[in-house]
Amino acid sequence: MDRDIKEVLLTEAQIQARIAEMGEELTREYADKYPVVVGVLKGVVVFYADMVRQIKVPCEMDFMAISSYSGTNSTGKAVVKKDISADIKGRHVLILEDIYDTGNSLSFTYDYLMEKEPASIKICTLLDKPARRKPGITLKPDYVGFTIPDAFVVGYGLDFDEKYRNLPYVGILKPEAYSK
Ligand code: 5GP
Ligand code: MG
């Protein structure tokens, strides 16, 4: 796997240090709130497992899965493939995401969960690619791990064609890896 990587963008140590910092903020934010931490599958799983262990207050863990249609005429439409199991009405929700790119998926997830009438929703994304944001997307993540340039990244949960999710760092693929 490593030999398909052109450049390591974020090392394991950099990621863990930033997660520890965000953990301190989130621990303060959610003291006495017993939040529901919602992870959007599958890309978030590695970040989720590390992040949630740095939120040092009681929380409930939950997951959802959506599929987005991201053709050239993308309208930002998505469908829920797996819903959360918690009843979040009146609860504080923290959405964890791997990457905020065009903004379609997260905006959809946010609106979908908002309809369930939670007390609050905040968003924490490991990576943010603001250069790719679609016009009209106004949602802003409350916590951002790293702002990265407009490049397709893999590792630490992020895949190309379902591969590379288990790399412990975030890297940029060599162009020849796409044609494999
Ligand atoms: P959106 O464009 O809706 O903000 O992002 C949707 C999804 O596209 C993300 O959750 C992620 O699964 C995928 N995605 C966006 N940018 C990248 C990237 O650089 N690398 C990988 N592996 N997936 C990405
Ligand atoms: Mg993905």
Residues with beta carbon inside 6 Å of ligand 1? 43, 68, 98-106, 152-154, 158-160
Q: What is the pLDDT of residue 72?
A: 45
Greater confidence, 178 or 12? 12
Whether residue 156 is contained in a domain is answered as no
CATH code, domain with 38: 3.40.50.2020
Sheet architecture: strand order including 5-10: 5-10, 170-173, 153-154
pLDDT in tens, 58-85: 999 999 999 876 554 455 578 999 999 9
Whether residue 164 is contained in a domain is answered as no
Task: Tell me how far apart the alpha carbons of residues 167 and 72 are, in angstroms, rounded to a whole number.
Answer: 29
Whether residue 175 is contained in a domain is answered as no
Whether residue 4 is contained in a domain is answered as no
Q: What is the pLDDT of residue 73?
A: 46
Whether residue 100 is contained in a domain is answered as yes
Whether residue 1 is contained in a domain is answered as no
Whether residue 178 is contained in a domain is answered as no
Q: What is the pLDDT of residue 70?
A: 55
User: Per the structure block, which two tokens stand in for 177?
Assistant: 């890896």
Task: Select from 79, 158, 164 the residue to mutate for testing ligand 1; criterion: most ligand atoms less than 8 Å from CB.
Answer: 158
> How many domains does one find in the chain?
1
Q: Identify the domain containing residue 82 by its residue range.
A: 12-151
Residues in contact with 47: Cβ distance below 8 Å, sequence separation at least 6, in sequence order = 19, 96, 98, 126, 145, 156, 157
